[in-house]
Structure 1
Amino acid sequence: MNPESRVMKTHVKALVVGGGAVGTSIAYHLAKAGWEDVMLVERDELTSGSTWHAAGLLPLFNMSYATTHIHKYSVDFYKTLEEETGLNAGFAVVGNLRMAQTDERMDEYRLYASTAETCGVPYVWLTPDEIKERWPLINTEDLKGALYHHTDGYINPADVTQAMAKGARQRGVEIVRKLQADSYNWTGTHWEVTCTKMVEKGGNLVESDETVTITAEHVVTASGNHAQRTAKLLGIKIPAIPVEHQFIVTDVDPALQAWRAEGNPEHPVIRDADAQSYVREERGGWILGVYEKHAPACFEYGVPDSFRADLFPLDLERIEDQYMAMIHRMPSCEESGLKDDFNGPICYTPDGNPLVGPAPGLRNMWLAEGFSFGITAAGGTGYYLAQMMVDGEAEIDMASLDPKRYGQGWMTTEFAARKNEECYDHVYILHHPDEERPACRPLRTAPAYDRQKAKGAQFGFVNGWERPNYYGPLDAPENFDHDARSFRRGGWWQYAVDEAKAVREGVGLIDATAFTKHIVEGPGATQFLDWFTCNKLPKVGRINLTYALTSHGTTRTEYTIVRLAEDKYYLVSAGAWTSYDSDYLRKAIEDKRDEFGWISCHDVTTQWGVFAIAGPKSRDVLKEIVKDADPSTVLGNKRFPWLTMRNIELGMVPVMAIRVAYTGELGWELHHPIEMQNNLWDQLTTAGEKHGMKLVGARAQNWLRQEKSYRAFGNELGRDATPLEADLPRFVDLSKDFHGKAKLEETGVRSKCVTLLIDGPADADPWGREALYAPDGTRVGRLTSGGYSVAFGKSIGMGYVKPELAVEGTQLKVKMLDQLWDATITQDSPYDPKNEVIRVDG
């Protein structure tokens, strides 16, 4: 009996919309995780989207910790499908050979290799001679070496999708084809999804007059190229827009045929990153896939109804350089004719990572969109998303893939399309950790942007904002490269050193306007925040550092809370996570309003600018401009002690000054009405000249906070570790009840955050992606942050190790540039451990 001939369900626990590799994997894993009532609907046939024309490569290479875990799971999982389902997924485990033509590309691979080790991804290094010995058809004369992943290769996209679909059906999932989701309505308890049955007419797929409404507790959208249609139906923005991707198939290559006829194994997937292309065998010939410049975005406002499993015309001129590069790399293919070509839509996001997690502003609506490497990511996405939906959290921190990393308030279709085109042509660009991509910039600028630029500011991109990374020389020669990137110490490094020294020895001014800021107030605000966060709430006029936890007791958000009145609070959190934090905060308030009473929450991020002034001379600068009856004492410890807030006037600007400094020096955060920012900037820079004040960027600040062991959200703090594992017991009040407390106590300490001083190479510092080893060679942890310490004159890093090793003086090794370097666990806050400097009076 055909499973689709049965009476279709109309009430389910989870409805998955989209029948490509990602959607079928999600349905499979939800059922495997224990949900018995799962349904998948597909508007056409399974695999009829980008899945059908995908090349099926399974690259393990990825600089993202979460994405590497996802890819690794997929590679391992696909190898088990045939035993479970009886269907061969077409997995050719031929390996993946990443070749390098330059030393800098080898540095990229060295950094990635250490990251791969933290996720258990195997690899080997090959020299050009070793490559030539194994695969003599490859021209290796201009190669420096290669990174070889011998456990992956390529797979048949349609076969693996059908295998997952069969596995899903075997676990009770109902899969319905030719059913299009046309509207979504949240009733307050469940979703009502109205679907239209689709019919074939003249070779096209058209809507019939027959509709059905499916009620579902949870909905997952995995709509691929149709993400913009999904976004309109849900009333949200999804920055997933396809880009044209081309690959060609050659006719037979006699030299390859002869090679295989001699009993030699199939070539690995050959990735020539410096030529922006990959090559693999295909029935005696070759497939060439390219990531060229000027590939256009498509379907920016939706996929035409007439477009099904269709393709675009090939643009050979656009890929001519890559075609010639293939002939250079595989000379034997020169006489092979063109057998077939593909130019189809592949969905992208601005940073290349998919959008996986809860939809912004919606309940029980989950997104799995924007997969540029969908076959590679499908298995792992299903596994980890199912954990989030069934258990409340995944075993790895999925925040870096959260759809809310792009703010609903500023992300537009134009932004997504242009950034996605940029992301496509950057697939094989060297991915420096200090990379800053130029498309769609500047977009969000604080008022002082032009003044900072005139002072030599070199900006980074954070949540759409332009934020100074460092200040370069104003008298630079014409050939000075402000964008000099490196896997070692880039062109910006010495400027960041000078800025960090200025904060430690004098005074520096930092723009922190991008900070996320919320006002929470009302009769229920105090009870709510006491439950929502794990630390004691501050008294009026004081501040506290605290954490909002997940249901698993791990860290969801870090907040600096300023208590403005008995029932009014100013919450400051990381600038990169505004929509992410706002969504979680608002939903929690909605859930608790009946219990705690009326609570108001306002995102005031764009209303308040922030300057941080820090260093031994910071008080001296502020004394020059503060307006008070006694300017000499208004900033002293008696009237303005550490960890307090005071409303002061700096010239004509009313300022909410907070005595705290992320650099660990004497300092203040100066929160001010953003429309007065330029006036305040001019006052501060003028007053600072007398005291030698230096303008300071985010990179120096990042180094300085590591010298104080200040954890950063997205690095040391995340949804895979509790605050106790982050070694922050002083910010957890176990005497009160708070969200996630039971799980926090139940979890215990599985690993522990530490700070390390590192005797690394003379020309490089860690980036926070490296593996940590015991002296006997056992891997014992990983770095989450890294940089240079001006206080100690050597590299510094923070990371997680086994709890028994988290002892001051423990000797470890850190993997940098494919070598092990000595590292010593130091005391928490190695610079000024007693906080004497930050409390100094004056």
Structure 2
Amino acid sequence: MTKELPSSAQVVIIGGGVIGCSVAYHLTKLGFTDVVLLERRQLTCGTTWHAAGLVPTLRANYNMSMLANYSATLYEQLEAETGQGTGFVRNGSLTIATNKERLSEIKRGASMAKVAGFPCDVITPEQAKAMWPLMNTDDVIGAIHLLMDGMASPVDVTQALAKGARMGGAKIIEEVKVLDMKIKDGKAVGVITEQGDIDAEFVVNCSGMWAREFGKKAGVNIPLHAAEHFYVVTESIPELQRGLPTMRDMDGFCYYKEDAGKLLVGMFEPNAKPWGMDGIPGSFFFDQLPDDYDHLEPYLEAAMHRLPILEETGLQLFFNGPESFTPDDRYHLGEAPELHNYFIAAGFNSVGIQSAGGAGKMLAEWIHKGHAPQDLWDVDIRRNMPFQGTQRYLEERTTESLGLLYETHYPFKQYKTARGVRRSVLHEQLKAQGAVFGSENGWERANWFAKEGQAAEYEYSFGRQNWFENNKQEHSAVRNSVGVIDQSSFCKYKIEGPDAETFLNRICCNNISVAIGKMVYTQWLNERGGIEADVTVTRTASDAYLVVSGVACQTRDMDWLRRNKPKDASVFFTDMTSAFAVITVMGPRSRDVLSKLTKADLSHEAFPFATSQEIELGYAIVRASRITYVGELGWELYIPTEYAPSVYELIFETGEVFDIRPYGYHTMNSLRMEKCYRHWGHDITDHDTVLEAGLGFTCNFEKEGGFIGKEAVLEQKANGPLPKRFIAFLFEDAGPLCYHEEPIYANGKIVGRTTAGMFGHTVGATVAMGYVEHEAGVTKDWLESTSFEIEVECERYKVTPSLRSFYDPSMKKIKC
């Protein structure tokens, strides 16, 4: 039967699962009444209908936890608003630990819960047993109890959201298949369906497992892949108490949910089974996949160990249904960098019910405001690279990503699958030196170097890992002699043309109208003064610049440049990332080493800090840039890729008498922390202003033409002491290690959370950084008169705050 479709709408949403309905609902709450949601068959028929319906609140970080908490609060209130029940109850959750490392992980989660304001208790095995009497706790060493976690009926939640959307004026039309997109001048302008076209100002892809293939039709990359996902439902168990908290035994890769006297046991198993390699069938409709008892046997045995009563309990249902998973287990949200006005909310990694409320709210506000309403970099679609959308990459990674949800989330943990995608031309030389590689944005990068006879592999822990001493020695080499790191993974952009200076001066908050060869450290700000990028800009000619950015920002940076380029500007962008290797030579003896390889004058007078020159080095002509991210004298060497191996060899041959050694990214991190250097995406984001981040010195308010965000920065500056500031902290105790998201206390009250932490071998303790808030202003006087602590694994430690770095705050080491 042909449906009567409108010819136009302000927003068209594709997909009638819980995510699409949440987006529609929240758009109407913002005043959008001309919203059309199109579902190819019936609401929930893809994956929503078979979800387990868990609604936990605590996620990997504060921002994602707050979105999950919003979902729970919304589902609790929807019935009163719409008259449609959701089945939501706050039954709480219990997560157990059977080994020391898991206990460390859940205790760190309990500390973060305090920042979010979630009631969370660390309890004993005996207390856990009292909550779940049927549980075997012989091997349990601890647990956490989250009181506000809940569960709901996925179908009912979706229907409630749909009803709320209709009450707000949205049209929800089932049995309409969307075939393609309408595109004009780089924008989405509507959809093509089997029953006619609909023009639209915005299009939202919420098509779940189909999102990747549908995205391809518009040239949009949405990396996700379906995997088989299992749970079983038992027969009635008379001994099973009603209203039990959801129990997670992540070491056994299982969760347990009481459901009307029966037990649902779900699995997040390692070595998952990708599904739909040849595409998701168009006929897929409330379908399930074949059973696989052999695949699940180890996890059913683990379930019987945890709940011995299962040995004598029959299974009423063995369910296998597909869910879509992303390469990093984080969903995709936001406006596509390839196509304006095309938004995505997909790839929810089996946490769609938990995430739908918050994700729908965020995307609706993104459409409404024209920018992300808060820091959403974790899930921003712009974090992805084209290779991540390839079939082989996704199929391989999906075998790992499902199980990773329940594996121990160690700091510095590396993926095992889909590795070796992007390799520096120096890869084999690094490997021969003992490099232990990590993966970042597909790049294989040396994180640390194993000693002779030491296995070149990680031994993970929440404490000092097996590379701690390696890190110490690498750290010492850079501080006291000379170290070399391969930073070829830097993103590098050539900006050129007659209008390059005018364009970049508008983009950058600092003044880039400088002499050829001068380097400028600067940020790209948004209209709110938030930091969109943290870069160096080197003027290489009168009409050309080299911009260098972090490894994770390639897609995002290029998108920002394109979006802000005036139509009539004569300026051109070229991504040069693959064209140049970068060998960075750092340390007090770096000048001695490099001077033996070039006739160029490397003295401070001839080659000042923050300048760049083309010099002969060995057989190559390289761009040598005197800059640092570790707080020492040194140079970044930008070398055409094919010349880099010979230059690398010469540097180490020449540096042998100066005790030269390679260092990895873990060491770079510990060095930069001692210098309080920020890292975009962790320490600074688009929702931290340049003043809050302590980077106001990069803003040039006098330059002609101003810069994006200038007015917002000036307004904030005029309002007096900032109530939020980025602060460095040094632990008084040398024992604890912190990483991120730990609570920061001022006089016993939580005032912020850490963004990063690492042991500083020069200062002899962990350095942490993060934002603190104080309504009257975060001033030097307040910091000095206040007692600060940081909580690690539910224990507080005294820390010393500072607005300056703990190592060489006067920068004498750099400018010598």
User: Structure 1-normalised TM-score?
Assistant: 0.93
Q: Tell whether the 8 Å contact from 2:435 to 2:456 is kept in structure 1 after alignment.
A: no
Give the aligned residue type for 1:468.
A
> Aligned with 1:593: secondary structure?
coil
User: Residues 221 and 746 from structure 1, CA distance in 2 versus in 1: closer, same or farther, beyond 3 angstroms?
Assistant: farther
Q: Does structure 1 residue 219 correspond to structure 2 residue 194?
A: no
The answer to whether the aligner puts 1:773 opposite 2:757 as a matched pair is no
Matches within 5 A, 1:316-715: 316-372=293-349, 373-408=351-386, 411-476=389-454, 480=455, 482-537=457-512, 538-589=514-565, 592-594=566-568, 597-626=569-598, 628=599, 631=600, 634-715=601-682
Paired position in structure 1 for 2:150: 153
Letter in 2 for 1:459: F
Partner Cα distance (1:189, 1:832) in 2: 49
Q: From the superposition, tell whether residues 551 and 299 of structure 1 become closer, same or farther in structure 2 (CA, over 3 Å).
A: farther
- The one-letter code matched in structure 1 to 2:756 is S
Q: What's the counterpart of residue 739 of structure 1?
A: 708
Distance 1:481 1:690, change over 3 A: closer
CA-CA distance at 1:602 after TM superposition: 0.3
8 Å Cα contact 2:180-2:214 kept in structure 1: no
For residue 41 of structure 2, what is the aligned residue in structure 1?
44
**Change in CA separation of 1:189 and 1:447 when aligned onto 2, cut-off 3 Å:** closer
1:788–1:796 Cα contact (<8 Å) kept: yes
Tell me if the contact between 1:552 and 1:744 (Cα under 8 Å) persists in the aligned partners: yes
Q: Distance in 1 between matches of 2:9 and 2:626?
A: 53
Q: Which amino acid aligns with 1:670?
A: L
Residue pair 2:178, 2:192 contacting (<8 A) in 1 also? yes
Q: What secondary structure, in the 3-state scheme, does the structure 1 residue paired with 2:658 have?
A: coil
Tell me what 1:105 maps to.
102
Counterpart check, 1:753 vs 2:711: no
**Match of residue 720, structure 1, among 687, 694, 703:** 687
Equivalent residue, structure 1, for 2:753: 782
Amino acid in structure 2 at the alignment position of 1:800: Y
Task: Return the letter of the residue paired with 1:673.
Answer: P
Q: Is the 8 A contact 1:228 1:301 kept in 2?
A: no
Preserved CA contact (<8 Å) 1:405 1:576: yes
Matched with 2:11 is 14
- Asked whether the equivalents of residues 724 and 778 of structure 2 are also in contact (C-alpha less than 8 Å), the reply is no
Take 1:598 and 1:705, find their aligned partners in 2: how far apart are those partners? 37
Q: In the alignment, what sits opposite 2:794?
A: 818
Give the aligned length.
803
The amino acid across from 2:590 in the alignment is S
Distance 2:733 2:750 in 1: 18
Structure 1 residue 78 corresponds to structure 2 residue 56: no
* CA deviation vs aligned residue, 1:815-841 (integer Å, no higher than 9, x gap): 10210000111241221111111011x
Contact residue 593 and residue 599 of structure 1 kept, 8 A: no
Distance, in Å, in 1 between the alignment partners of 2:347 and 2:528 is: 27
DSSP 3-state at the match of 1:685? helix
How many angstroms does 1:410 deviate by?
6.0
CA contact (8 A) 2:333 2:379 kept: yes
Residue-by-residue CA offset, 1:523-582 (whole Å, 9 max, x unaligned): 111111111111111332101111111232211111100011122110000011111211
Change in Cα spacing, 1:481 to 1:677, as seen in structure 2 (3 Å) is closer
Amino acid at match of 2:511: K
Contact conserved, 2:434 with 2:456, CA < 8 A, in 1?
no
Measured after TM superposition, the shift of residue 498 of structure 1 is 1.2
Separation in 2, partners of 1:5, 1:196 = 11
Does the CA contact (< 8 Å) of 2:131 and 2:244 recur in 1? no
TM-align CA RMSD: 1.8
CA separation of 1:10/1:761 partners in 2, compared to 1, >3 Å: closer, same or farther? farther
- For the residues of structure 1 that align with 2:769 and 2:354, how far apart are their CA atoms? 30
Task: Report the alpha carbon displacement of residue 188 of structure 1 after superposing the two structures with TM.
Answer: 2.8
- In structure 1, C-alpha distance between the alignment counterparts of 2:388 and 2:649, rounded to whole Å: 28
Partner of 2:229: 245
CA distance in 2, matches of 1:61, 1:826: 30
> 1:481: Cα distance to partner?
7.0
Deviates more, 1:429-438 or 1:822-831: 822-831
Alpha-carbon distance, 1:270 to partner: 0.9
**CA–CA distance in structure 2, aligned partners of residues 126 and 611 of structure 1:** 50
Judged with a 3 Å threshold, the aligned counterparts in structure 2 of structure 1 residues 517 and 65 are, in CA distance, closer, same or farther, namely farther
- In structure 2, the CA distance between the partners of 1:426 and 1:156, relative to structure 1 (3 Å rule), is same
Give the secondary-structure state (helix, strand or coil) at the position aligned to 2:54. Answer: coil
Q: CA deviation at 1:405?
A: 1.7
1:552–1:12 Cα change, 3 Å = farther
Structure 2: how far apart are the matches of 1:83 and 1:687? 75
**CA positional deviation for 1:133:** 2.2
1: CA distance between counterparts of 2:609 and 2:17? 56
Distance (whole Å) between structure 2 residues aligned to residue 509 and residue 567 of structure 1? 32
The 3-state SS of whatever aligns with 1:528 is helix
Counterpart check, 1:94 vs 2:91: yes
Q: CA deviation at 1:779?
A: 0.6
- Residues 355 and 368 in structure 1, CA contact (< 8 A), matched pair in contact too: yes
Q: 1:281 to 1:410 in 2, by over 3 A?
A: closer
Amino acid at match of 1:308: F
Distance 1:531 1:333 in 2: 66
Q: Does residue 831 of structure 1 match 2:780?
A: no
The alpha-carbon distance between structure 1 residues 746 and 46, as it changes in their structure 2 partners (threshold 3 A), is farther
Question: The residue matched to 1:278 in structure 2 has which SS?
Answer: strand
Determine helix, strand or coil for the equivalent of 1:606: coil
> Separation in 2 of the partners of 1:294 and 1:705?
37
Amino acid at match of 1:500: H
Deviation at 1:154, TM superposition (A): 1.2
| Distance change in 2, residues 1:237/1:166 (3 Å) | same
Tell whether 2:22 aligns with 1:25.
yes
The counterpart of 1:232, out of the listed 210, 216, 220, is: 216
**Cα distance in 1 between the residues matched to 2:602 and 2:452:** 33
**Contact map agreement 1:530 1:536 (CA 8 A) in 2:** yes
Aligned amino acid, residue 73 of structure 1: Y
- Residue 609 of structure 1 contacts residue 677 of structure 1 at CA under 8 Å; is this kept in 2? yes
State the 1:213 CA deviation. 0.8
User: CA contact under 8 A between 1:228 and 1:302: conserved in structure 2?
Assistant: no
